[in-house]
C-alpha cells in the first residue's frame, strides 16, 4: 500500500459507480457465475462517509444520482456493458443477443471531505469539535 501525504486543510473529492449500476443485467438472471462483474467500488455511501471521519476527514458530503444509458440494439448494449466492466468480455455476444436489455443504469456516487486542521478542530471519530476562537466573522 502506497503512503499518502495528507495536507492539512486540503480537500478530497471522489466519485465511483455504486451498487445499483447494471441492475438490469442482474434482473435478467445474469449473475457473477454468468460473468457479471462485481464492481470493486460498489460500497454504501454512508459507510464511506463514516470511514472518512474515522480517518481524520471532516464534514464529508456524499450524494448520488442515476444516469440511464438507452440502446437501440442489444449488440451496442453488450459492448458498452463490457467496456464499463459490468460483463466479462468472455461472454459471447450471441448469448447476450436473446436478452431485451435496452437500458443500463449507472449509479454515480460522489463526495468530498476536508482534512481537519490541527489548529481548527478535532474529531473523536463521530463528532467534529471546533474551538470557539476558530469561528470568525467575514
Q: Give me the phi and psi of 91, to 5 degrees please.
A: -70, 130
Please indicate, yes or no, if residue 5 is contained in any of the structural domains: no
For the segment 35-53, the average pLDDT, to the nearest whole number, is 73
Residue 56 has pLDDT above 90, yes or no: no
Please indicate, yes or no, if residue 39 is contained in any of the structural domains: yes
pLDDT of the residue at 133: 59
Report the Cα–Cα distance between both ends of the chain, in Å, rounded.
42
Chain segment 75-88, per-residue pLDDT in tens:
888 888 888 888 87
Please indicate, yes or no, if residue 24 is contained in any of the structural domains: yes
Write out the residue range of the structural domain in which residue 52 sits: 11-115
pLDDT of the residue at 64: 93
Please indicate, yes or no, if residue 136 is contained in any of the structural domains: no
Please indicate, yes or no, if residue 129 is contained in any of the structural domains: no
Q: Residue 21 and residue 18: Cα distance in Å, rounded? A: 6
Please indicate, yes or no, if residue 6 is contained in any of the structural domains: no
Please indicate, yes or no, if residue 128 is contained in any of the structural domains: no
**Residue of higher predicted confidence among 19 and 63:** 63
**Residue of higher predicted confidence among 15 and 97:** 15
Please indicate, yes or no, if residue 106 is contained in any of the structural domains: yes
Chain segment 100-119, per-residue pLDDT in tens:
678 899 999 999 998 876 54
127: which DSSP letter? -
Chain segment 119-129, per-residue pLDDT in tens:
445 555 556 55
With beta carbons less than 8 A apart as the criterion, state whether 41 and 16 touch: yes
pLDDT of the residue at 43: 73
pLDDT of the residue at 10: 79
Residue 88 cell numbers, joined: 466479462
Q: What is the four-CA torsion angle of 65, 107, 7, 11, rounded to 10 degrees?
A: -10
Task: Say how many domains are in the chain.
Answer: 1
Residue 53 has pLDDT above 50, yes or no: yes
Amino acid at each position: 500500500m502506497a503512503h499518502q501525504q495528507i495536507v492539512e486543510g486540503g480537500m478530497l473529492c471522489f466519485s465511483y459507480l455504486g451498487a445499483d449500476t447494471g441492475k438490469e443485467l442482474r434482473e435478467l438472471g445474469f449473475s457473477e457465475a454468468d460473468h457479471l462483474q462485481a464492481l470493486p467500488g460498489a460500497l454504501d455511501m454512508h459507510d464511506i462517509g463514516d470511514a472518512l471521519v474515522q480517518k481524520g476527514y471532516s464534514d464529508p458530503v456524499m450524494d448520488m444520482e442515476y444516469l440511464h444509458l438507452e440502446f437501440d440494439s442489444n449488440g451496442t448494449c453488450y459492448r458498452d456493458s463490457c467496456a464499463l466492466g459490468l460483463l466479462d468480455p468472455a461472454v459471447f455476444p450471441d448469448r447476450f443477443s436473446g436478452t431485451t436489455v435496452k437500458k443500463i443504469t449507472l449509479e454515480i456516487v460522489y463526495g468530498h471531505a476536508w482534512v481537519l486542521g490541527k489548529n481548527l478542530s478535532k474529531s473523536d471519530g463521530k463528532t467534529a469539535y471546533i474551538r470557539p476562537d476558530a469561528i470568525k466573522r467575514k
